[in-house]
Structure 1
Amino acid sequence: MPIRYKCRHCETEIGQLPLDSIDEHFLQKNDITVDEQELYIEHGASGDYTVQCICEECQSSLQKFPNYYALKKWIQ
């Protein structure tokens, strides 16, 4: 059951980590709020996690076109 990292804009899978290689204490100790966890971390039915983040290509586009930040999903 891995932790997957996926771009929230283009949905490209950025990478994954095996869940068994992560210390459980590390998973509980984080600096994000409950609202942010609900927004950016999805818990799958099989026990895996998907973290919504941003890939380098989308980050580059956001830097060039900062008005895209106002849109929840700007790639259709």
Structure 2
Amino acid sequence: MSIIYNCRHCGHTIGKLEQKVIDASSLGFDQLSKSEKEEMIHYDSNGDIQINTICENCEQALGQHPNYHELDFFIQ
């Protein structure tokens, strides 16, 4: 089973963890609300977990251009 972190804006794979046993609290999943979990965490049929987050480049772009927060997608 893998935990794969992807940027929700540009689709870049940020990182991948290979784990046989996962402790959700050590990854901070227990700190998320139910709606945040539904938005960010997706389970693949092969057992992998896909986590939608933001990469450093997109975070920097959002910081430099706050109006991008209004857009559903700011990367074309």
Inter-CA distance 42–63: structure 2 relative to 1 (3 Å threshold)? same
Inter-CA distance 60–29: structure 2 relative to 1 (3 Å threshold)? closer
Preserved contact between residue 24 and residue 30 of structure 2 (Cα < 8 Å): no
Residue identity (%): 38
Structure 1 SS opposite 2:32: coil
- When you count helix as a share of all residues, which structure comes out higher? 1
Preserved contact between residue 6 and residue 53 of structure 2 (Cα < 8 Å): yes
Q: Normalized against structure 1, the TM-score is what?
A: 0.85
Q: Normalized against structure 2, the TM-score is what?
A: 0.85
Structure 2 SS opposite 1:16: strand
Q: Which 4+ stretches in 1 moved above 6 angstroms?
A: none
Preserved contact between residue 42 and residue 49 of structure 2 (Cα < 8 Å): yes
Q: How many residues were matched structurally?
A: 76
Structure 1: state its 5+ residue gaps. Answer: none
Structure 1 SS opposite 2:5: strand
Aligned pairs for 1:48-67 within 5 A: 48-67=48-67
* Partner deviation per Cα, 1:5-50 (whole Å, 9 max, x = no partner): 0000000000011132533664696111111111011111111101
Structure 2: state its 5+ residue gaps. Answer: none
